[in-house]
Structure 1
Amino acid sequence: MPRCRRLSHYLATLALICLPLLVSRVEACMVCIPYPEETGTDRLLHADAVVFARENPEQPFSYSAVEVLKDDVEAPPIDLFLPSTTRKRLALRPEDSVALAFDAANNEWRSAGYATPAYQELVRKIVMRAPAWNRSARAESRARFFVPYLASEDESVHKLAYLEVGQSSYDTIREADSVVPAAQVHRFLNDLKYIEWHALYILLLGVDAQPEEERIIRQAMESRARLGLKLNLSAWATALIEIDGAEAVEWLERHYLGVADRESDAVVEVVKALSVQGARNRSSLRQRIADSYALLIQTHPSLAGWAARDLASWNDWRFADALAEVRDGEQDLDGAAAFSINYYIRRAQSRASN
């Protein structure tokens, strides 16, 4: 038990340090999933050496560098195996190569993607921007750089752009609507091979949606509510709010937030959508979304931590009493939720006493 108490104290302290940072972030990463913790861009930015390589003519199924883009260290020979499918592809396309990145800390070479001429051009630009981007981490300017590449028909370029833009703010994602043709959005959403990657394009479908696209979004949400489907639910809910505004918030209250027996996992996905829309710059719906959290706190008290986090970020201190009831009641809260609620209540009380 002492060990558990020490761990709980550590987690609470960590949450106290991180919460002010977390509540101030305006990101769509809760909606645009899945993506790896490290993108191909991260790999290129942090690499100590970057090269384009093709098959070594003297040693089949191995690599030989044909162009060096970065050589901060004296890297060892490339010891990666060249897969037969990639080897055949390179043999048919002499202008293509493979981008390889060397990590000196782990003393290993890793692939950074199959490189068509279009991808090679993008990699060169990324390496050139590495000093600035490494200083500013995942800044919005970095995401905006990739927005035009979402329209690329090159699979490697498109994938890299998706992973970068998908981790940006929803405001930045909305900007991509003017870049990505509607036909491409519909084509991607009709490809079930990428169904787990549909989230970003569902969001784009909602921006400046045409009547037929609005119908698709409403039907998608109705079927999910009826059948209890959760895949890409947060993205569809975000798109619904985009097209129907306050009416969508009311609909989500009736079908999710106010339904006591609705699975918490599904309600969380809807809360993510409300959070993303409420966090937008100059959001006209923030007040309405904050009001909907009163129903969430009452009907799904185990999820009250989500509401507390957003409300603190939005400087809305009206719900201290409701959250105090959850905190002091019999509801079993996890450490993160309990700390978010306590943080909110302390801030609200501090504001009230000033």
Structure 2
Amino acid sequence: MPRASRLSPYFVTLALICLPLMVGRVEACMVCIPYPEETATDRLLHAEVVVFARENPDKPFSYSVVEVLKDDVEAPPIDLFLPSTTRKRLALRPGDSVALVFDASKNEWRSAGYATPAYQDIVRKIVKRAPAWNRTARVESRARFFVPYLASEDESIHKLAYLEVGQSSYDTIREADSVVPATQVHRFLGNLKYIEWHALYILLLGVDARPEEEQIIRQAMESRAQLGITLNLSAWATALIEIDGEEAVEWLEQHYLGAADRESDAVVEVVKALSVQGARNRSSLRQRIADSYALLIQTHPSLAGWAARDLASWNDWRFADALAEVRDGDQDLDGATAFSINYYIRRAESRASN
């Protein structure tokens, strides 16, 4: 058994909460969002007061409410500073405003985005849906609402849609391929300003890829393998599996999972791609991806927790012996990895005894 010192109370609590939820859950795509971020939608859904505001004509650089969408509490006066760039933009566009929300728990006003007429329309729809979305917390239905807006040329709307769709399952993300034009996908991927946001569009590139797009994906993966680049690696690997299926899994085994000298951070990015593709509804590759985890467990035992997590979720209990060797070996495991492996082994033993 792993040494007790490896299991911090934090990891034990986290695992106890999360591991039982693995089986049968809808997998969020873990390759799209570069960092955890509260979205403007979150702010709108949780706020007690939502308004549209413009500059106060009697007090420059301050806000004045022009429309109230929600007023569940009596909020204090808006004390936010109106930036000069936003002020100039509003002055040129009389129909625009700024969406502001009041968070009673923090007793503060916050911005929920610059609001063009199109953005205002979305805000009204979000506020209208707030009771249902807050009650059910159905991420997938919420994400599907935003899928059509990925094609928007409005920067605020595009960002809002990206952050929402990017947190959904890969199956939902694939649906966006029918909405976002190929020209927009290529234009966005060609803009290095948003390189950390490329992941979602890399995934879309792989769905129903044309021959020239398949070549782009293969070349991107080859260069990353040669140069050790990890930026957006998981997205490119996901796209590679999308176009080449089992051949892609074999290629990833050769260059990452079975390469003992490959850095763990790069291997993890590839495992994310395998996990996302294996978690798909009715995935025809799940068995092959699960088999590839045997190589991961053998060559990169410190990452065996990733395999244990997915295999438990997929009810694949063939790897208990291999994971037991990792658990009982000399490999130094962190708390989360040790707990994931133990959870898998206990479940596998329970299934075998029944």
Q: State the Cα RMSD in Å.
A: 1.4
What's the CA shift string for 1:42-76, capped at 9, x where partnerless?
A: 00000010000000000000000000000000111
Q: State the distance in 1 between where 2:300 and 2:75 align.
A: 55
Aligned runs of 1:67-216 on 2, under 5 Å?
Answer: 67-216=67-216
Shift of 1:14: 3.5
Query: Contact 1:257/1:267 (CA < 8 Å) preserved in 2?
Result: yes
Q: Which residue does the alignment assign to 1:21?
A: 21
Indicate the structure whose relative CO is greater, using CA pairs within 8 Å and at least 6 residues apart.
2
Q: Which residue does the alignment assign to 1:54?
A: 54
Query: Contact 1:23/1:310 (CA < 8 Å) preserved in 2?
Result: no
Could you list the runs of 5+ residues in structure 2 that have no partner in the other structure? none
Distance 1:93 1:13, change over 3 A: closer
- Equivalences, count: 351
| Alignment-mate amino acid for residue 167 of structure 1 | Q
Distance 1:61 1:10, change over 3 A: closer
Q: State the distance in 2 between where 1:114 and 1:209 align.
A: 35
Q: Secondary structure at the match of 2:261?
A: coil
Q: Which residue does the alignment assign to 2:334?
A: 334
What's the CA shift string for 1:26-50, capped at 9, x where partnerless?
A: 3344100225431110000000100
Q: State the distance in 1 between where 2:30 and 2:187 align.
A: 24
Q: State the distance in 1 between where 2:162 and 2:6 align.
A: 41
Shift of 1:7: 7.4
Q: Does 1:302 align with 2:302?
A: yes
Q: Which residue does the alignment assign to 1:245?
A: 245
| Alignment-mate amino acid for residue 185 of structure 2 | V
Aligned runs of 1:27-46 on 2, under 5 Å?
Answer: 27-46=27-46
Shift of 1:24: 4.0
Greater mean alpha carbon deviation, residues 137-146 or residues 234-243: 137-146
Shift of 1:83: 0.2
TM-score of the aligned structures, taking structure 1 as reference length: 0.97
Query: Contact 1:31/1:199 (CA < 8 Å) preserved in 2?
Result: yes
| Alignment-mate amino acid for residue 348 of structure 1 | A
Q: State the distance in 2 between where 1:287 and 1:49 align.
A: 49
Q: State the distance in 1 between where 2:325 and 2:20 align.
A: 23
Q: Does 1:223 align with 2:213?
A: no
Q: State the distance in 2 between where 1:6 and 1:184 align.
A: 48
Q: State the distance in 1 between where 2:70 and 2:57 align.
A: 23
Shift of 1:22: 3.9
Query: Contact 1:40/1:113 (CA < 8 Å) preserved in 2?
Result: yes
| Alignment-mate amino acid for residue 176 of structure 1 | A
Q: State the distance in 1 between where 2:36 and 2:339 align.
A: 28
Q: State the distance in 1 between where 2:43 and 2:331 align.
A: 43
| Alignment-mate amino acid for residue 237 of structure 1 | A
Q: Secondary structure at the match of 1:174?
A: helix
Query: Contact 1:35/1:163 (CA < 8 Å) preserved in 2?
Result: no
Shift of 1:13: 4.0
Q: State the distance in 2 between where 1:124 and 1:152 align.
A: 17
What's the CA shift string for 1:324-350, capped at 9, x where partnerless?
A: 000000001111100000000001111
Q: Secondary structure at the match of 1:333?
A: coil
Query: Contact 2:45/2:134 (CA < 8 Å) preserved in 1?
Result: yes
| Alignment-mate amino acid for residue 144 of structure 2 | R
Query: Contact 2:301/2:331 (CA < 8 Å) preserved in 1?
Result: yes
Q: State the distance in 2 between where 1:26 and 1:246 align.
A: 23
Shift of 1:110: 0.2
Q: Which residue does the alignment assign to 1:263?
A: 263
Distance 1:70 1:35, change over 3 A: farther
Shift of 1:16: 2.1
Shift of 1:10: 5.2
Query: Contact 1:27/1:167 (CA < 8 Å) preserved in 2?
Result: no
Q: Which residue does the alignment assign to 1:313?
A: 313
Q: Secondary structure at the match of 1:81?
A: coil
Q: Does 1:288 align with 2:317?
A: no
| Alignment-mate amino acid for residue 16 of structure 2 | L
What's the CA shift string for 1:73-108, capped at 9, x where partnerless?
A: 011110000000000000000000000000011110
Distance 1:10 1:184, change over 3 A: closer
What's the CA shift string for 1:111-138, capped at 9, x where partnerless?
A: 0000000000000000000000001224
Shift of 1:9: 4.2
Query: Contact 1:23/1:309 (CA < 8 Å) preserved in 2?
Result: no
Greater mean alpha carbon deviation, residues 5-14 or residues 325-334: 5-14
| Alignment-mate amino acid for residue 274 of structure 1 | L
| Alignment-mate amino acid for residue 44 of structure 2 | L
| Alignment-mate amino acid for residue 114 of structure 2 | Y
What is the identity percentage for the equivalent residue pairs of Structure 1 and Structure 2?
89
Q: State the distance in 2 between where 1:127 and 1:135 align.
A: 13
